[in-house]
């Protein structure tokens, strides 16, 4: 199987409406605001991804309103709000009063307590497990941007939260957009139906150019710098292998019916992205994952300028490729 670099995802509302057959994290019910048809949305994490997620949510349905926002930094929140208000197609659905603009590390709990029905969790991934747990306990429906965790304890926490969400009949939908692409869905269905026989190997490629990095500004503490430059610090992003390459790793997991590999061996390093603005994450990885039946997943990713790019997944079966 070979796919395009990054198909356009469905809207967030369409995620909620169509993912019941494919989502593995939670049962997706119909979402309604209490007592009315209005969906009150809260945005937690107001960077580019959060602003984009909010825009898509507001485009998706006429009965959606963005009513609360939260971020660690006031300037990011205000920039996001200004961007949304400049968008003539969604501006009339933005109703975030001053008292519902929350800043600081406790912004998540304040958004959850503001009367929202749905939350968009789009902070740096380090915070996703804590925010997801809090949102489920608060009884909110959730869009959780990928990745949902940066380490094994975080993954286990997310699995527990999603089990609780299932029991509470709450929606939890991830930003792993390829699971919602109709072409990918049909391809994976055919693979599951035996189109190429028993799967014996998979390959996940993510070869791309350099990603963003921010220079440290005068007056920033270590915490502020790393938070504003979150992609380039492993504790916040999980590193390139997790933060970006997760898309096609997830496709391979999907193909394998969400079974877990039993072992992995790999390497990685920094060769091109070595400046201080790139923190301490790597710019290349190569990992071989092995399943209990001997099937291997060969995973390679690279973020370096001036090289040929290829973002794709491949599946090899006993009857073909």
Is residue 184 domain-resident? no
pLDDT > 90: percent of the chain: 87
DSSP per residue over 158-196, as a string?
Answer: HHHHHHHHHHTT--EEES-GGGG-HHHHHHHHHHHTTTT
Residues 310 and 238 in one domain: yes
Q: Indicate if the pLDDT at residue 321 is higher than 60.
A: yes
Q: The CATH number of the domain where 249 resides is what?
A: 3.30.360.10
Q: Read off the pLDDT of residues 85-112 as tens digits, 9 standing for 90 and up.
A: 999 999 999 999 999 999 999 999 999 9
Q: What is the pLDDT of residue 301?
A: 97
Verify that 232 and 104 share a domain, yes or no.
no
Q: The sheet that has 101-103: what strands, in order across it? A: 101-103, 64-71, 39-44, 118-121, 141-144, 172-174
> CB count, 10 Å around CB of 72?
23
Question: Over pLDDT 70: what percentage of the chain?
Answer: 89
Give every CB contact of residue 142 below 8 A, 6+ residues apart in sequence. Answer: 118, 119, 121, 132, 135, 136, 165, 170, 171, 172, 173
Confidence of residue 305 (pLDDT cuts 50, 70, 90): very high
In terms of residue numbers, what domain contains 155?
12-178
Q: For 2-16, 146-160, 260-274, 287-301, which range has the lowest pLDDT when averaged over its residues?
A: 2-16
Mean pLDDT of 286-312: 97
pLDDT, averaged across the chain: 90
CATH number at residue 102: 3.40.50.720
Encode 109-148: b = buried (16+ Cβ within 10 Å), e = exposed. Answer: bbbbebebbbbbbbbbbbbbbbbbbbbbebebbbbbbbbb
Q: Which DSSP category does 15 fall into?
A: H
Q: Does residue 152 sit in the same domain as residue 108?
A: yes
What is the spatial distance between Cα 111 and Cα 99, in angstroms, rounded to a whole number? 10
* Pairing mode, strands 296-303 and 118-121: unpaired
Query: In which band, very low, low, confident or very high, does the pLDDT at 35 lie, cut at 50, 70 and 90?
Result: low
- Residues 231, 161 share a domain: no
- Looking at the fold, whether 204 and 158 belong to one and the same domain comes out as no
Show the CA angle centred on residue 20, arms to residues 19 and 24, nearest 5°.
Answer: 85
Together in a domain, 127 and 228: no
- Please tell me the total number of residues recorded for the chain in this structure: 321
Record the pTM.
0.88
Q: Residues 158, 250: one domain?
A: no
pLDDT in tens, 175-204: 999 999 999 999 999 999 999 999 999 999
Q: What is the pLDDT of residues 240-277, one digit of tens each?
A: 999 999 999 999 999 999 999 999 999 999 999 999 99
Of the residues 178, 207, 228, which one is the last residue of a structural domain? 178
14 falls in which pLDDT band (50, 70, 90)? very low
Across residues 280-284, what is the average pLDDT? 97
Please, what's the b/e burial string for 169-190 (b: 16 or more CB within 10 A of its CB; e: otherwise)? ebbbbbbbbbbbbeebbebbee
The domain boundary, picked from 126, 143, 178, lies at 178
Instruction: Tell me how far apart the alpha carbons of residues 70 and 85 are, in angstroms, rounded to a whole number.
Output: 16
Half-sphere CA count of 87, side-chain side, radius 13 A: 18
Return d(Cα 45, Cα 195) in angstroms, integer.
42
């Amino acid at each position: 199987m070979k796919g395009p670099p990054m198909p356009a995802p469905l809207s967030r509302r369409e995620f909620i409406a169509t993912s019941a057959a494919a989502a593995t994290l939670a049962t997706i019910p119909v979402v309604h605001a209490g007592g009315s048809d209005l969906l009150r949305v809260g945005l937690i994490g107001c960077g580019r991804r959060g602003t984009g997620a909010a825009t898509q949510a507001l485009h998706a349905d006429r009965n959606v309103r963005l009513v609360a926002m939260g971020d660690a930094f006031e300037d990011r929140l205000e920039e996001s709000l200004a961007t949304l208000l400049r968008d003539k197609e969604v501006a009339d659905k933005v109703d975030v009063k001053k008292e519902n603009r929350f800043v600081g590390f406790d912004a998540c709990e304040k958004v959850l307590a503001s009367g929202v029905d749905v939350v968009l969790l789009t902070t740096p991934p380090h915070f996703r497990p804590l925010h997801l747990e809090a949102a489920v306990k608060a009884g909110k429906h959730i869009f959780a941007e990928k990745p949902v965790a940066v380490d094994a304890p975080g993954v286990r926490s997310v699995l527990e939260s999603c089990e609780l969400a299932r029991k509470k009949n709450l929606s939890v939908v991830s930003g792993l957009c390829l699971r919602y692409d109709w072409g990918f869905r049909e391809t994976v269905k055919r693979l599951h139906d035996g189109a190429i026989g028993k799967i014996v190997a998979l390959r996940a490629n993510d070869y791309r150019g350099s990603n963003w990095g921010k220079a440290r500004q005068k007056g920033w503490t270590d915490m502020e710098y790393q938070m504003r430059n979150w992609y380039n610090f492993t504790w916040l992003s999980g590193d390139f292998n997790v933060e970006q390459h997760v898309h096609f790793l997830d496709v391979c997991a999907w193909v394998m019916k969400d079974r877990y590999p039993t072992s992995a061996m790999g390497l990685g390093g920094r060769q091109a992205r070595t400046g201080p603005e790139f923190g301490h994450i790597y710019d290349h990885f190569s990992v071989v994952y092995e399943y209990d039946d001997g099937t291997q997943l060969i995973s390679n990713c690279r973020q370096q300028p001036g090289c040929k790019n290829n973002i794709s997944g491949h599946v090899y079966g006993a009857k073909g490729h």
